[in-house]
Amino acid sequence: MSEGMFVGLGEGPVELLPKLANRHGLIVGATGTGKTVTLQILAEQFSAIGVPVFMA
């Protein structure tokens, strides 16, 4: 098992290393491209490893 946080699937699993994350992020895309789903996955994964999450 890797130390990365699962974010989604591309040609294979896409993972984010929590130690490389910072407090700010930007998710952009056209309508229907999965921005809300991406934010939900990131929030759930950060919360699961004990990082406080706030989105506004």
pLDDT tens per residue across span 12-27:
998 989 888 888 889 9
Q: Where are the domains of the chain?
A: 5-48
Share of the chain above pLDDT 90, in %: 38
Residues near 54 by Cβ (< 8 Å), separated by ≥ 6?
none
User: ∠ CA 5-6-9 to the nearest 5 degrees?
Assistant: 150
Q: Which pTM value belongs to this model?
A: 0.75
Distance, in Å, from the CA atom of 8 to the CA atom of 15, rounded to the nearest integer, reads: 7
Distance, in Å, from the CA atom of 35 to the CA atom of 29, rounded to the nearest integer, reads: 7
Q: Which two tokens stand for residue 13?
A: 């699993």
